[in-house]
Amino acid sequence: MAQNLFMASSLFTRSKKIVKNVFSKQERYIQSQDITLKKMLYKARNTQFGKHFGFDQILIQKDVQFEFRARVPIHNYELMHSWWGRELAGERNVSWPGMPKYFAMSSGTSQGSSKFIPVTDDQLKAMIRGGKRQLFSIFKTDIPKDFLAKHYLQLGGSTDLNFDGSKYSGDLSGILSSRFPYWFEPLSQPSKEIRFEKDWYKKIEKMVAEAPNWDVAFLSGGPAWIKMLLEQIIQRYELSNIHQLWPNLSVYSWGATSISPYKKQIDDMMGKPIYYFESYVASEGFISFQKKVNSTGMALVLRNNMFFEFLAFNEDNFDQDGELKNNARAIGINDVEKGVNYAIVITTCAGAWRYLIGDTVEFTNLAAFEIKITGRTKQYLSLCGEHLTVDNMNQGIERTALELNFGIAEYSVRGLKYPDGSLGHCWFIAYSSEIQKPSIDIIRNSLDKHLCVLNDDYATERAHVLKKMELYLLPEIDFIDFMEIRGKLGGQVKFPRVMAETVYQEWVKFLGARHQLDNFT
């Protein structure tokens, strides 16, 4: 056994050279995933998780990936937390060698409770390496030569971490900032004092006050909050556009949510075109980033201590509630197809093993392994077979806003079954300004039309079964205040695109009390 493991270890380095010399770029990516999995299995073979699932035995098999899938089940957060919770309590060598020093607190949307995701030193190195690769891609554009000498403005969660005497917990942005190189600190904005601020409104207020002191070239943060920050800066200093204050602003990088509902409004606040670069960074790792301005999607970050698998998001693998079925079958990147909706499964150097992250993606370019995020496994609408994804919703909202020249600041939707047995969708849309606000009927008809074009199943069900489409037009502050009441206000939290029943009941109760209405539906 020991000799076999030693041979497997020594093959890692030699196989890299063989892969580079013999295979095409696409084939090298595929082969690199096999090497990545073997490296992680070898390193974690003596952990409690590795011993439990027989990593030693997996490594000596001819087809390691096949044996890995046969022995290790797919884990959701609850299953993985049975291991991670022991690390949180101070145990060593549980799911990854050593003990994590950091735990990222993540809830994803306003309808979820906080999760604790381990962040190991290996994971931090991988995430920073992924960030550097993205930065190098941006350098390849025709941005100004002195780009690096300007300010980098990041609107994220609080960097003030909780410390229990042995480990830290808090927002991922705070964990990552602790590992930034020393030379980057003078260029990074806002200041440490503002980054530590946990009150979201105070943070925005302080950033608006400090804005004239910055020469921002690179902007990073969630679209909804970046839009809010820019609006307040422009209003406070009576500007026509943000470039009057920051003339060197050249790049905006965002992640975690679609920019579609906000793109037009952000564009309208610019004095000249800027470059947009999307990334996909989760608490579990740096998953993908946009390499080129005209890319159709984000390239998976391969050869970076993360092994990818994909589950076709269909009735064979998931039930009607988005729960994984027992006989679900995952595939590797060598078997994926373009245009298929997949749930993404990752194995990482932070001790996440065959972890169902909850996001769904679609491959847009197989040669470069580029993906786009299409939604969440539990955030989609299919009351009667309409199969409406969050990607459909985002595009529908974006096209509606462009057609009507109307700023849509936020939205959410709930599928409903009415007392008479009929089915329908209930939309809640936030407007940015009362100026030129279209009527509800005009917005509803435009959105419905675009969704029918984007999704044939939706068009069919709208004609036969899905008879109702309610729409409520609300001020943006309603969405913000609701998140604050639920303790979910912050740069890393997103309003749910599709509301779960419990959140929906809280939401309509909140709206009824605020607008003095007995019921919204």
For 368-408, how does the pLDDT look when each residue is reduced to its tens digit (9 = 90+)? 999 999 888 878 888 887 888 888 999 999 999 999 988 88
What are the distances in angstroms from CA 55 to CA 61, 92, 170, 374, 391? 10, 18, 31, 33, 38
pLDDT band of residue 510 (cuts 50, 70, 90) is: very high
Q: What is the pLDDT of residue 260?
A: 81
DSSP state of 331: B
pLDDT digits 0-9 by tens, 221-265:
888 889 989 999 999 999 999 999 999 999 999 987 788 878 888
Full DSSP string of 236-261: HTT-SSGGGT-TT--EEEEESS-STT
| Phi, then psi, of 340 in degrees rounded to 5 | -95, 140
Q: What is the pLDDT of residue 508?
A: 92
Q: What is the pLDDT of residue 290?
A: 95
Mean pLDDT value across residues 83-87: 96
Q: Which range has highest mean pLDDT (32-36, 401-405, 436-440, 494-498)?
A: 32-36
- The residues with which 429 forms a beta bridge, in sequence order, are 411, 473
What are the distances in angstroms from CA 10 to CA 28, 42, 445? 19, 11, 63
357 burial type by CB count under 10 A (0-12 exposed, 13-18 middle, 19+ buried): buried
Contacts of 435 (CB under 8 A, 6+ apart): none
Mean pLDDT value across residues 458-462: 90
Q: What is the pLDDT of residue 69?
A: 97
156 burial type by CB count under 10 A (0-12 exposed, 13-18 middle, 19+ buried): buried
Q: What is the pLDDT of residue 18?
A: 47
Scan for tokens 């919770």, then name that residue: 85
Q: Is the pLDDT of residue 17 over 60?
A: no
Q: Is the pLDDT of residue 14 over 60?
A: no
Is the separation of the CB atoms in 48 and 99 below 8 Å? no
pLDDT digits 0-9 by tens, 32-83:
999 999 999 999 999 999 999 999 999 999 999 999 999 999 999 999 999 9
Is the separation of the CB atoms in 489 and 422 below 8 Å? no
Q: What is the pLDDT of residue 19?
A: 44
Of 174-183, 220-229, 412-421, 507-516, the one with minimum mean pLDDT is 174-183
Q: What is the pLDDT of residue 112?
A: 47
Handedness of CA 458, 464, 465, 468 (dihedral sign): positive
Sheet holding 162-163, edge to edge: 115-119, 102-106, 168-170, 162-163
Mean pLDDT value across residues 492-517: 86
Handedness of CA 59, 65, 70, 75 (dihedral sign): positive
Q: What is the pLDDT of residue 113?
A: 57
Is the separation of the CB atoms in 308 and 333 below 8 Å? yes
Mean pLDDT value across residues 474-502: 84
Q: Which of 389, 367, 397 is nearest to 296 (CA)?
A: 367
Domains of the chain listed by start with CATH number: 1-64 (no CATH), 121-289 (3.40.50), 390-514 (3.30.300)
Q: What is the pLDDT of residue 323?
A: 87
Please give the Cα distance from 191 to 119 (Å, whole number). Answer: 24
- Long-range contacts: 433-442, Cβ < 8 Å, 24+? 433/407, 436/405, 436/406, 437/406, 437/473, 438/404, 438/406, 440/471, 440/472, 440/473, 442/404
Please give the Cα distance from 264 to 395 (Å, whole number). Answer: 12
Scan for tokens 């919703």, then name that residue: 393
Whole-angstrom Cα Rg for the chain: 24
Please give the Cα distance from 230 to 248 (Å, whole number). Answer: 15
pLDDT digits 0-9 by tens, 106-160:
754 444 456 899 999 999 999 999 988 988 888 887 777 666 668 889 887 777 8
Q: Which of 408, 405, 406, 455 is nearest to 429 (CA)?
A: 408
What end-to-end distance do the CA atoms of the chain give, in Å? 65
Is the separation of the CB atoms in 377 and 356 below 8 Å? yes
**Mean pLDDT, all residues of the chain:** 87
Tokens of 237: 């200093």
Q: Is the pLDDT of residue 441 over 80?
A: yes
Please give the Cα distance from 83 to 395 (Å, whole number). Answer: 39
Distance from the Cα of residue 118 to its chain's centroid = 17
Helix residue ranges per DSSP H, 283-425: 390-404
pLDDT band of residue 97 (cuts 50, 70, 90) is: very high
Mean pLDDT value across residues 414-431: 91
pLDDT band of residue 302 (cuts 50, 70, 90) is: very high
CA 219-221-222 angle, to 5 degrees, is: 135
